[in-house]
Amino acid sequence: MSHMERALEMARRAIGTVSPNPAVGAVVVSEGVVVGEGNTQPPGGLHAEVEALRRAGSRAAGAVMYTTLEPHAHHGRTPPCTQAIIDAGIAEVRSAVTDPNPRVNGAGFARLRDAGVTVRVGECAEHAHELIEAYAKHVVTGLPFVTAKFASSLDGKIATTTGDSRWITSAEARAYAHDLRAASDAVVVGIGTALADDPQLTARDEHGKPLARQPTRVVLDSRARLPTTARMLAEPGDTVVAVARAPDARRRALERAGARVVQAPSADGAVDLGALLAELGRGDTTGVLVEGGGVLLGSLFDAGLVDKVVAFVAPTIIGGAEAPSSVAGAGAQRIADAVRLSRVRTLHLGRDVTIVGYCEK
């Protein structure tokens, strides 16, 4: 494992605990030996670079620092990482990618170079950018990064004609899906899925215990039909119910049950997806995981709001002309207009194949 790969490994340990900050890893190397390493701590805590320097101590003088993201040079919740690097006597900084934050975006590198620190950029850039893709979109646009996740049979069905959907995918695929949930700021489902499955929508460890930090649960429920007895309302963490023109009594009942009700009506009486994403973004939600069902996913794809797809495909044939498929909505009228994925990779999880790719826009 290279030193930058070790920094990436450190960054992955921070995923799901540091938003809206990016998950960053840093490694300090002196004469080929790692003398300090660290990752981003929860908001208000140390950044990865300072954590690594703290552990390296006096051994940081003359050393090389590997970071997955450009160190910042401005005063935020914490003092500038660049000044800590300079004060520690680091001779060279090797960063995977530039920070897209308009307040950084090269300024950190410039500050280091002005102080005589050698700067090199680009090693493991693709992997490093994937780690901060939600942060990168949010910090530039104010909108969260949208990942569409679905599990289907080989013929594209997400349930049988009777509605049975447990379990299409393997235990290994479901465990990976839980990791995706834990890494997200919010998990979004449509009211159809909420009514049919009564999901808990919690992130859990391998023993089934809820994690300390839970993504916000979001239900798109234009008429506020979610029962006040829904299991998710009793789970740790926050639940947001996005409504359009729902009766006041239903909204108040959901609020009494512990939900936060957000109104985002569109012209056709449904929830305005763009307005909802903007509202979530204003609340520092950097990444959302949309888990279905097909109607919600279809609406998001039709509106061009999906950034990334994670599709679990099981080697199973369900059949049935009326069996629901992964993505509904209006869809494309021509193959040339279909959503295409780039930077596609495949994973094998148990008996299933997982396809990961980014929507071309």
So which residues are the catalytic ones?
49
> Checking phi first, is residue 293 left (phi over 0); if not, alpha (psi -120 to 50) or beta?
beta
The Cα–Cα gap between 7 and 173 comes to 27
Q: Which residues contact 107 (CB under 8 A, 6 or more apart)?
A: 72, 73, 74
CB 157 within 8 A of CB 320: yes
Give, in order, the Cα–Cα distances in Å from 317 to each of 153, 173, 194: 6, 17, 25
> What would the two tokens of residue 194 be?
């909420």
- Pairing assessment for the beta strands 25-30 and 64-67 based on DSSP bridges: antiparallel
| b/e sequence 23-38, b meaning 16+ C-beta within 10 Å | bbbbbbbbeeebbbbb
